[in-house]
Structure formats: C-alpha cells, structure tokens
Amino acid sequence: MSGGQNTANGTTAAGAKARTDVTEAVGVTVVSGVTGVPGVSGARQIELPEDRHAEELAFLAEYDEGPRPPGWHLTPRAVVTFVCGSDGETLSGADGRRLVVSRKFVGDRGLVERCVVTLAGERGLLLVGEPGTAKSMLSELLAAAVCGTSALTVQGTAGTTEDQLRYGWNYAMLLATGPSRAAMVPSPVLTAMTRGAVARIEEVTRCLPEVQDALVSLLSERRIAVPELAGGPDGDGTVHAVPGFTLIATANLRDRGVSEMSAALKRRFNFETVGPIDDLDAETELVRGQATAALARSGARFSVDDAVLEALVTAFRDLRSGRSAEGWEVERPTTVMSTAEAVQVATSMGLGAAYLGDGRDVVRTLPGHLLGTVRKDDPADHARLLGYWDGPVRRRAEQGAALWRTLWELRDDLV
C-alpha cells in the first residue's frame, strides 16, 4: 500500500531512524515501533484518523490539485473520497503512486457531500441521530481530512463550562506577569479559530443552556473578546477567527429535552441526520471489520462464523426497526440497538471464543450477549426479547433454518 520510502505506518525509514536516535538519547524505550517511558506503554488503544490514515491523506493531498477553501488540506472532492472511499478503484497520483482509498463511513454519500459543502461555506454543522450511528466517527473523519486534526474537541456534559469553549488562564503566569496572550490557556475552539481549523463539540445538547449560548455569538461574530487583554500590548483583547475556521457538533436524538438548543443556536447550524445503515450486508461487513480490528489489538484472531455474525446483525436490525426482514412485527425494546452495540457484542463473542473457548459453538453465547444489551435501560425489555424469540426466531426455525433452530433451542438461556 505504501510507496517510495514509506513504511507500514506512513513514516520514512530516515524519520524512524532519527526518532530512534532521539529516544535513545533521552532514555526512552522503543519496542517494535512503540515508544514510551520505561514501564509505561506508548501504544494507543485507538489511533486518531489523521494518524491511522496518514498515507491516504498525504496521497489525496497530491492526487487532487483542484481548488481548496481557505485553510483546507484537501479539496472538497478529495474529502468526500477520503470518507466514502474510491469504490475499489485504484487512483493514480502524479508521481506514479497508486492507491485504493478505503471506505470509512458506511452511509449515504449524498449526506457526506452536504456535510463537506457546509464546512466549505464555513458554516456550523450539526450531526444528529440515534446513539451508535457513527456521528462522532464522521465528524472525526471530516475534521481530519479538512484541517489535518480531529483532536480539537470539547466533550459536552452537564459539567462543561463556558471556559472550555472560550479560554482559561495559566494562573502561575497570570500572577507573575499579568494578563497576556502567553498566560492564556485557549480552548480547542479558540485554537481552531486562530489556526483556521475545525473544532468539534460532542453531545452539544448535554451542555447547559448558558454554555450553549456562548456558541451563538461565536458562530455569528467569529471572534472572542478577552477583556483582560484590552488596552494592553496584545491589542484590543479580541481574538478573531481566521479563514477556514468552522465547527462540527453532534447530538443524540435520545437526548432531546436534556438541554434543548435555542432557536438562535439552531439557526447557526446546518442540520444533517445520520441514520442507521440500511443494508444488511454492509452493516455485517462493518461489524466484522470493527470486531476483527478490536481483537487484533488484543492479539487474538476473530473466529466468529459468518452465518453467526449475520444472525447477530439481523437480530439487531429486527429489534431496531420493529419489523423483521420478512415483514413480521417485532416489539421494539427501549434500548438503542445500534451498529456500535452490535460491534461490541461481536467483539465479546470473538474474545470469548479466543480466550475462553472450550469447544462450545460460539452461537450458544449469542442469546446471553443479546440479553445483556437489551435489558440495560428497561427491565421490561427482557420480555420484549423473549417475544422476539417466540416470534421471528421460532418462525425461522420452523422454516428449516438450521442456525435459527439452534437459537430457538437456546430460548431457556433467556429466562
């Protein structure tokens, strides 16, 4: 996949040698490409998309030389290609390099294109939808492709303060030298404003209304006033956003009413709804890929049979939609039966097979994992899962489907 002197992780051999020399000089341990202080692992459980897909981002930056909005690392067209992939097509760069861009977001390409157009217009983008529909992942991918970093992020909670959207102070410097730009501690949003980058706010509706209100003037006026700096050597105390700055926020539909957004704030965002994956094969492939990657990080191999994995995803889709693939009515549980939850169940089944395998068929662990997922919010959902077993599972078993017959025989595991 890599070209020239690129290594598997997208760095040059010379660069790796230089880093090795530096780390050895300061007494840092380097083992199999993982850097860290002695006794402390430098490995990451989750790689940022700009690191994980560094090779693709570098390739696309050279591949598409079309017009780019101010501050953008890629063209809007290349951003869409990065997120949605090249549909298996091998792209050829000007330097002769060839690369197939992987698909990272399984969803509507039109949705991604509208998101990119919104960001190109420097307008706020709000991604809404049920939990587990990859809103955060999409926002990370967009930010990484547009400005090279997805790390300028504020996690919205009831404890999020206005300072976390604006700025704070290094109080030691403040007491020693007085108010200055050097003594300021910029928020991720302020950093994005000064860099012309994309800031991300996760779960914006979990922030208190007075914190959300700070975004209204920020998105309208594109500047932040710092009264402490007014009249000093750092100018009038106003920090202005440079071209390219914009903001992506996410919100769960299940959180509606927690801290409802004001009409004024809503007007400053373009809303895009991220829905569940509508294709069984695509969702199954995504679950397989995510679970395989999770087990690889644990040093294990994902060995869940394809038929079992499809049954797992089918059950999630049936319970999520309230209707089976055959059109039979299903009572929907209160719990969100998201793709993300399906990935967690598939990963748990794979880990059980890898570390606790005792010869049992892995399908026999599926009812227990489903039960743990379904009843986490409402005990009454236990009865709804039993109803699903007495409905679609039983009917599929009666129609002769061997795997569903096995699942029907395991009904007592749910009682």
**Domain residue ranges in the chain:** 44-273, 280-414
Beta bridge partners of 252: 129
Are 284 and 313 in contact by the 8 Å Cβ rule? The answer is: yes
DSSP state of 56: H
Are 248 and 127 in contact by the 8 Å Cβ rule? The answer is: yes
pTM (two decimals):
0.84
At 14 the three-state DSSP class reads helix
Give the span between the Cα atoms of 205 and 260, in whole angstroms: 6
Task: Report the candidate in 22, 21, 24, 5 with the shortest Cα–Cα distance to residue 13.
Answer: 5
**For 137, phi and psi rounded to 5 degrees?**
-60, -40
Helix (H) or strand (E) holding 98: strand 98-100
* CATH numeric code, 44-273: 3.40.50.300
Beta bridge partners of 251: 128
Total H helices, total E strands in the chain? 17, 13
pLDDT at residue number 237: 82
Task: Report the candidate in 387, 410, 405, 412 with the shortest Cα–Cα distance to residue 307.
Answer: 405
Give the span between the Cα atoms of 202 and 250, in whole angstroms: 5
Q: How far apart are the first and last CA of the chain?
A: 50
Buried b (16+ CB within 10 A) or exposed e, 308-336: bbbbbbbbbbbbbeeebeeeeebebbebb
Residue type at 102 in one-letter notation: S
Q: What is the pLDDT along the chain (415 residues), one digit of tens a residue?
A: 333 333 333 333 333 333 333 233 323 333 333 334 444 456 777 889 999 999 999 999 999 989 999 999 999 999 999 999 999 999 998 788 999 999 999 989 999 999 999 999 999 999 999 998 999 999 999 999 999 999 999 999 999 999 999 999 999 999 998 888 889 999 999 999 999 999 999 999 999 999 999 999 899 999 999 988 877 666 678 899 999 999 999 999 887 767 889 999 999 999 999 999 999 999 999 999 999 999 998 889 999 999 999 999 999 999 999 999 999 999 999 998 999 999 999 999 999 999 987 767 899 999 999 999 998 888 899 999 999 999 999 999 999 999 999 999 999 999 8
At 168 the three-state DSSP class reads strand
